[in-house]
Structure 1
């Protein structure tokens, strides 16, 4: 039997999906919900303990007391300012040690992972817990990108690769070769909403999501779900392209049905390394 899994839960559906997968497999879980980030999903997410993000000492103690050995970081976390964070002495010590690495999401997550492993925990990947979440290659649903969409996708891949080396964003929206917006701290949903007001006449744009070059695949993989489809349709986009094997696709059948109903394509990209 696998050891008890500690889920440090941010926002969105992913933490709940992991809990359900573990329950189906008979694996024990301990859910540590991050205050202001984790969404209880109308009471469905079984949070065992709540903690603020800056209370590193209390979080580590709670995980140990629960008998957790493996940890997965799951869900959206909005980066707070240092004033909002109110770090305890353990968190303050971590920030002092990592310095400039805290400026980028990937650098910060690597440092947090290193700290957890230094405390005796093992940080595992979401896909190691629930492999069916990974995006498959090829078209999902009834529609496929046309020639113009393929050009926009290629442009999006190029932009994400360039920005990824600077640890900035995992998503871009391209319409007819024009970059309408890139993801920064606001997240993908806000990016889609913002670009809805920037769209040009003619065929709609494409949302492209990829992992950053050299990204540690244990955390922060690009994630899409049915809500992504709804937002893209509302913003006048005509398709979604996500990296196959290195991104998470929630509720695949629901996504495909929603995309078909709205005339959008969804494609899993096989991106050469």
Structure 2
């Protein structure tokens, strides 16, 4: 009988400890936003002292003592402060929050009615950077970079041809990449769905614009170069022909071509004018066979 009472007393003590144990609060905040960790002290007795601690060594310690109306901060960033007046609501404010603030925090309250302990667990989420690209081999790549936790990627239309890769970074973020090859060229668009606690994004790509354009650009460039080169040669030939006409009609400098030859006479003073050049003179004209005799 005595043993039975001892067991019942132990169970009752355990139940009381579970009910009156420290409160626990889960807080999840996106990086760059404000995190508020509450310390729900509701006793009618004024508190004497409240202390916030982060469970690491050495980490932040933020304390307030009412009898001296004094606050102290040890190893705490300027981003950590009281949300309100600590004697009325001793909540802790962290702004802007970052990945280094993630962890467990405790709020200890001392009053004439006793000591109270409240615990909070802070989780920081990071939205990923989402991109959707494709290449000439008809492979689409959807990437959710540096997210925390890792994002989920799905495709529309759904396909069992997709593959995924993950890259874990030292700061706790994860990059997830999904690859898919599309076979049906009749599909108008391909859509990538990225699901994450901090953000949901949808990116689409027009499959009709994924044909390679570089060969056409090169062909067009070659044609342009050929056209410019041809125009340049044409101008050169016209300039040379014009020079030949000028020499034939108005210059005393003799000249020769493949089908026409003129030699000066030094014995006669009255030099006969050369006959006018007809169109037949230039029928076999070749700019490369011009020889000037001076």
What TM-score does the superposition give when structure 2 sets the normalisation length? 0.22
Q: Which has the higher strand share?
A: 2
Rg (Cα) greater in structure: 2
Q: Which has the higher helix share?
A: 1
Higher relative CO (CA 8 A, sep ≥ 6), structure 1 or 2?
Answer: 1
What TM-score does the superposition give when structure 1 sets the normalisation length? 0.23
